[in-house]
Amino acid sequence: MTTIDWSKAPDGATHYSPGKDGGLPCWLRMSGNYIAECWVEDRHFTYTTSQPHIPGERFPRPPQWDAHDLPPVGTRCVFNLSRGTEWHKELRDGVEVEILAHYRPIGMDTVAVFAFPCPDGSREVEQAVAGRFSPLPTAEQIAAKAREQTIQAMLNADKRGTLSRTKFCNLLYDAGFRQLPSA
């Protein structure tokens, strides 16, 4: 199975082609069954005549996920563990998972079948209904969380809030918090 990092796709790309028989991988914008634009490495090509074919497979961009329904097959997202439900013993809350398939058991709601990493490096498979998944955090969200955790660690140095500003700054400095915004 080809794993495609759609975050690297140029604006307007609707498909990805991994290349075949020595061909270069490329991003495509399809118009119907014809290629309208192609991006190869750092070059961009606009087709003025309808090109129906590039050798090899073409993978369409997955639909956008609203985080309320089941994630589309191929989506990488975060699994949110729920209490009161039995899950695989290695499955952890907040772990990144890959959606492998959708399945509707008889008499039940449709579930997403997903793979998740185990501590020993293997992967296991589990299933869950909509509402158990959330999008991967953005780089900005990750940075904001790290900032919040760092600030909380600083505040925990004086939990009671009784130190003077000077003593508190000395404590932070001794703990390794030295970077100040440039003025």
Is there a domain that residue 179 lies in?
Answer: no
The verdict on 131 and 149 lying in the same domain is: no
Tell me the mean pLDDT in the region 43-63: 73
17 and 31 in a single domain? The answer is yes
Between CA 144 and CA 151 the distance in angstroms is 11
Distance CA 146, CA 123 (A): 28
- The pLDDT score that the predictor gives to residue 34 is 82
126 shares a domain with 91: yes
Partnered with residue 30 across adjacent β-strands are: 35
| Exposed / middle / buried, residue 156 (Cβ in 10 Å: 0-12, 13-18, 19+) | exposed
pTM of the model: 0.58
Query: How confident is the model at residue 62, as a pLDDT?
Result: 79
Distance of CA 180 to the CA centre of its chain: 32
Residues 43 and 15 placed together within one structural domain of the fold: yes
Instruction: Report the pLDDT value the prediction gives residue 15, as an integer from 0 to 100.
Output: 92
Report if residue 129 sits inside a domain: yes
Mean pLDDT of the chain: 85
Per-residue pLDDT tens over the stretch 136-146: 988 898 899 99
Residue 54 is predicted with a pLDDT of 64
What pLDDT, on a 0 to 100 scale, did the predictor assign at position 151? 86
pLDDT of residue 115: 96
Number of domains in the chain: 3
Q: Is the model's pLDDT at 51 over the cut of 80?
A: no
Residues 169 and 152 in one domain: yes
Range of the domain at 94: 76-135
CA atoms in the 13 A half-sphere facing the CB of 128: 27
> How far is residue 135's CA from residue 71's CA, in Å, rounded to a whole number?
9
